[in-house]
Amino acid sequence: MSTDEIVQRVSLIVGAGQVGAPTGRAADAVKILSKPGDAAELAEVVRACETDRIALAPLGAARTLSQIRSLPVALGVSLGRLARVVAYEPKDLTITVEAGLSVGELNRALAPARQRLPVDPCDPDATTVGALIAASHAGPLRLSEGTTRDLLIGIRYVGHQGHSVHGGGRVVKNVAGYDLMKVLGGSFGTLGIITEATFKVRPLPEQYAMTRLSFDRAEKLFAAARELHDSLPLAHLEGLSSAAAYACGSPARFLLVAGISGSSSEVASLRDATARAAPGAVFVERGDALHAYARLRDFDASAWALTAQIAVAPAQLSSILAATDAQYLAHMGCGVATLFLPEPPADGRITIDGWRQAARRAGGYLRILHAHRSFRGSVEFFDMPNDGALKLMRRLKAAFDPAGVFNPGCFVGGI
Partner 1 sequence: MSHNAQATGLDPTLVAELAAIAGSDGIVSRSAELKVYECDGWTIEKCSPDLLVMPRTTEQVSAVLKALWRREVAFVPRGAGTGLSGGALPVNAPVMICTSKMNRILSIDLANRRVEVQSGVVNLHVTNAVKRDRFLYAPDPSSQQACTIGGNIAENSGGPHTLKYGVTTNHVLGVTLVLADGEIVELGGPAEERCGYDLLGAVVGAEGTAGIVTRAVLKIIREPEGHRTLLATFADVEAATHAVSAIMASGIVPSAIEMMDQLIIRAVEDAFHVGLPAEAGAVLIIELDGLVAGLDEHAARVTEIACHNGASGVRLARDETERAGLWKARKRAFGAVGRLAPNYATQDGVVPRTRLPDILRTIQVISRKYGLAIGNVFHAGDGNIHPIVLYDERKPEEVRKAIAAGREILIACVEMGGSLTGEHGIGVEKQGEMPLLFSPEDLIAMSELRHVFDPLERSNPNKVIPRPGSCVEVAAPHRQVPI
Within 8-47, the residues that bind partner 1 by CB under 8 A are: none
23 or 386, CB closer to partner 1? Answer: 386
Burial class of residue 176, CB neighbours in 10 A (0-12, 13-18, 19+): exposed
Q: What would the x/- binding string for partner 1 be over residues 380 to 399, using CB under 8 A?
A: --xxxxx-xxx-xx-xx--x
249 touches partner 1 by CB under 8 A? no
Could you give the string, one character per residue 55-84, with x where binding to partner 1 holds by CB under 8 A and - elsewhere? ------------------------------
DSSP result, 120-134: --SSGGG-BHHHHHH
CA distance linking residue 238 with residue 19, whole number of Å? 42
95 part of the interface to partner 1, by CB under 8 A: no
Which residues in 277-306 contact partner 1 (CB under 8 A)? none
The reply on whether position 321 binds partner 1 by CB under 8 A is: no
Minimum CB separation from partner 1 for residue 402, in Å? 10
Q: Which of 83, 86, 113, 294 binds partner 1 (CB under 8 A)?
A: 113
By CB under 8 A, tell whether 92 contacts partner 1.
yes
End-to-end CA distance of the chain: 22
Cβ neighbours for 181, distance < 8 A, ≥ 6 positions apart: 152, 153, 154, 155, 167, 168
CA distance to 85, 239, 300, 353, per residue, from 358 (Å) = 43, 19, 24, 9
200-219 binders of partner 1 (CB under 8 A): 202-204, 206
Distance CA 336, CA 415 (A): 24
We find the least distance from the C-beta atom of residue 218 to partner 1, in angstroms, to be 18
CB burial of residue 81 (10 Å; 0-12, 13-18, 19+): middle
Question: How many residues sit in the footprint of partner 1 (CB under 8 A)?
Answer: 83
- Residue 222 as a binder of partner 1 (CB under 8 A): the answer is no
Helix or strand run (H / E) with residue 262: strand 254-262
Of the pair 20, 203, the CB lying nearest partner 1 is at: 203
Task: Decide: 338 and 321 in contact? Cβ < 8 Å.
Answer: no
The distance of closest approach from Cβ of residue 24 to partner 1 in the complex, given in angstroms and rounded to an integer, is 29
112 forms part of the interface with partner 1 (CB under 8 A): no
Residues 326-365 that bind partner 1 (CB under 8 A): 334-336, 363-365
Distance from the Cα of residue 11 to its chain's centroid: 31
Q: What is the dihedral of CA 408, 411, 413, 414, to 10 degrees?
A: 20
Residue choice 18, 94, 102, 274 for contact with partner 1 (CB under 8 A)? 94
Candidates 10-18, 68-76, 266-274, 282-290 — which segment interacts with partner 1 by CB under 8 A? 266-274
Considering only residues 140 through 199, tell me which ones interact with partner 1, judged by CB under 8 A.
142, 146-147, 149-150, 159, 163-167, 169-183, 185-187, 191
Closest approach of partner 1 to the CB of residue 392, in Å: 6
- Rounded to the nearest whole angstrom, what is the least distance from the CB of residue 16 to partner 1 in the complex? 30
Of residues 115 through 144, those in contact with partner 1 by CB under 8 A are 136, 142
| Contact indicator for 259, 277 with CB cutoff of 8 Å | no
3-state SS, residue 246:
helix
Angle between helices 39-52 and 3-14 (to 10 degrees): 150
The residue among 26 and 41 lying less far from partner 1, judged by its C-beta, is 41
